């Protein structure tokens, strides 16, 4: 292989990496309504280069959120592995809310009414795991009997609207929001299943 061919492949990989980093940053900041030209501009590549690397917008979205998918899955799996279902559930809710306020686009993609196949599968698998964890917490009497997994989806979507006077305060605001949501999910002594 000639050095020129190696350089082109290296340049192509660098362009791809810059495009993914730019897309991930813009989606996190502004949600999924970011234009492809904005992403190309932030990545310092031309639109043709962007489309050569990512022919479809959905392909770019799926690739840009690959790290978030893995992080989200790890959070849910760790919560499910906790022998104390309530502790696992509350820890998962708090960590997911904090993760999601950092990335508006990721939440948009997860709660979309028409997600890509990859996002739909990710959502289905994680909601299935969370549903099992919720049933365990209900069985322990700690999670309210009328809790439905859609309640958690509503909370995650609502967390997208959280703001703070300074961006560095947003994680604390998210943790407070999570605490309030968790308190609303808590089973009560007069709960028929408690």
Kindly report, as residue ranges, where domains of CATH 1.10.357 are found in the chain.
66-185
Higher-scoring residue by pLDDT: 171, 107: 171
124-160 residue pLDDT tens: 999 999 999 999 999 999 999 999 999 998 998 888 7
CB contact set of 10 (below 8 Å; sequence gap of 6+):
none
Q: Residue 141 — left, alpha, or beta (φ > 0 → left; ψ -120 to 50 → alpha)?
A: left
For residue 167, give the 3-state DSSP assignment.
helix
Query: Which residue is it, tokens 């305060």?
Result: 169
- Least confident segment among 35-44, 154-163, 178-187: 154-163
Alpha helices (H) along the chain = 3-30, 36-43, 47-53, 57-64, 66-81, 85-101, 104-111, 117-139, 149-159, 170-185
| Cα angle: 168, vertex 77, 140; to 5 degrees | 100
The reported pLDDT for the residue numbered 191 is: 60
Q: What percent of the chain has pLDDT over 70?
A: 93
Q: CATH 1.10.10.60 region(s) of the chain? A: 3-61
pLDDT in tens, 54-109: 999 888 988 888 888 888 999 999 999 999 999 999 999 999 999 888 887 887 77
> Does residue 6 register a pLDDT over 60?
no
Determine the topology of domain 66-185 in CATH: Tetracycline Repressor; domain 2 (1.10.357)
What's the whole-number average pLDDT of the chain? 87
Q: Which two tokens stand for residue 77?
A: 């799996």
Q: Which fold has domain 3-61?
A: Arc Repressor Mutant, subunit A (1.10.10)
Decide: helix, strand or coil at residue 129: helix
- Please indicate whether residue 129 or residue 188 has the higher confidence score (pLDDT): 129
- CA distances, 168 to each of 24, 27, 159, 176 (Å): 19, 18, 16, 14
The pLDDT of residue 91 = 97
Q: What is the pLDDT of residue 192?
A: 59
Task: Specify the pLDDT at position 33.
Answer: 87
pLDDT band at 2 (very low <50, low <70, confident <90, very high): very low
- Work out the pLDDT band at 5, boundaries 50, 70, 90: very low
Mean pLDDT in residue range 6-10: 61
């Amino acid at each position: 292989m000639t050095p020129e061919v190696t350089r082109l492949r290296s340049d192509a990989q660098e362009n791809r990496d810059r495009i993914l980093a730019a897309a991930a940053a813009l989606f996190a900041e502004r949600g999924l309504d970011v234009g492809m030209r904005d992403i190309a501009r932030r990545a310092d590549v031309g639109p043709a280069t962007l489309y050569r690397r990512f022919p479809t917008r959905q392909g770019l979205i799926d690739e840009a959120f690959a790290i978030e998918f893995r992080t989200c899955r790890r959070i849910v799996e760790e919560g499910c592995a906790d022998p104390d279902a309530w502790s696992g559930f509350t820890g998962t809710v708090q960590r997911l809310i904090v993760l999601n306020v950092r990335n508006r686009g990721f939440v948009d993609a997860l709660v979309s009414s028409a997600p890509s196949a990859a996002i739909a599968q990710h959502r289905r698998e994680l909601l299935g795991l969370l549903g099992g964890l919720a049933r365990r917490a209900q069985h322990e009497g700690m999670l309210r009997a009328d809790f439905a997994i859609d309640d958690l989806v509503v909370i995650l979507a609502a967390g997208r609207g959280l703001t703070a006077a300074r961006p560095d305060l947003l994680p604390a605001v998210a943790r407070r929001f999570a605490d309030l949501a968790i308190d609303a999910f808590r089973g009560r002594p007069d709960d028929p299943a408690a």
